Amino acid sequence: MSWYDRVHGRNAYSKDRARIAEDPTDPEVAEKLRLATIDVGAIIDYAASFGTLVLTRAYADWSSPVNAVYRQQLVARAVDLVQLFPAAAYAKNGADIRLAVDTVEDMFRLPDLTHVVIVGGDSDYVPLAQRCRRLGRYVIGVGVAGSTAKSLAAACDEFEAYDSLPGVTRPERPKPAVAAEPEVPADVEPTAPSKPRRRRKKAVEEDPEAEPEVDPQDAATHLLRRALELGQGKSDDAEWLHSSAVKQHMRRMDPSFSEKALGFRSFNDFVKSRGDIAELEETGHERLVRLKD
């Protein structure tokens, strides 16, 4: 649902939910669902970069047509499908609870597990991430940028946006068609314009607990400045810091930070773009960075 909103616009899934539930095979609905299909392989390949995957599970009502389209992808990548019955009979947060319970049980049952990858953006997973870290596991979160709770990203050791995973491309939204004005014949006198209809202002209910939107570029600049200030404050005699250490510090402060998600090929390119606050020095194999006065 988060990726659907990312592809088709904010709150797109909520607007289309009724049509999707009524007939997901409708050509227009089916095309929108196709464009918003998650690449399961990209997520699993990213998770495998941390080590051998010994347990992979996905939780959903697999009898639902919207979820059923993923069965082939998941089974082909050896993912266990955990069947959850419809929300009315099971529970609203059935997937969250089952995922959390199974993960904690697996950690106690299999002490050789070292990493836990949580794919989701709900803040309900914050206690799970905290418990995993308390039990000595390295926690990686994967979610859609802009739709993942900031508290969940902060609770993980590392967080990666699905958008920035290798192989994931965000489809371009089709531009809405512009209706052409009908041509008026030359021998027809133009009629007086009709009075514009009074439009009612639609009240939009705002969530008081929703997190305010922050420009990712501004947030990244602030994060870089803070990391450099803290790094140079710890070392009285070292003005220059290794760029890799600065990036590591930034990831510890905000696990969701990713220079690739911001449009940069490397961290050094990101630092160069912030030339008004940071200075980069490249000598041999070393990349050093310092905060400008």
Whether 57 and 102 have beta carbons less than 8 Å apart is answered as: yes
Residue 87 pLDDT greater than 70, yes or no: no
Residue-wise pLDDT tens digits, 139-171: 999 999 888 888 999 999 999 889 888 778 876
- Mean of per-residue pLDDT scores for the chain: 83
Predicted pLDDT of residue 102: 94
pLDDT tens-digit series, residues 186-233: 555 555 555 555 555 444 444 544 555 678 899 889 889 888 887 877
Q: Does the domain at residues 216-291 carry the CATH identifier 3.40.50.720?
A: no
Q: Spell out the domain ranges in the chain.
A: 1-37, 39-164, 216-291
Of the chain, the end-to-end C-alpha distance in Å amounts to 45
Instruction: Write the single-letter amino acid at 182.
Output: P
Residue 131: pLDDT over 60: yes
pTM given for the model: 0.68
Fold of 39-164: Rossmann fold (3.40.50)
Q: Give the pLDDT band of residue 96 (cuts 50, 70, 90).
A: confident
Q: Does the pLDDT of residue 183 top 70, yes or no?
A: no
pLDDT digits (tens, 9 = 90+) for 274-283: 999 998 888 8
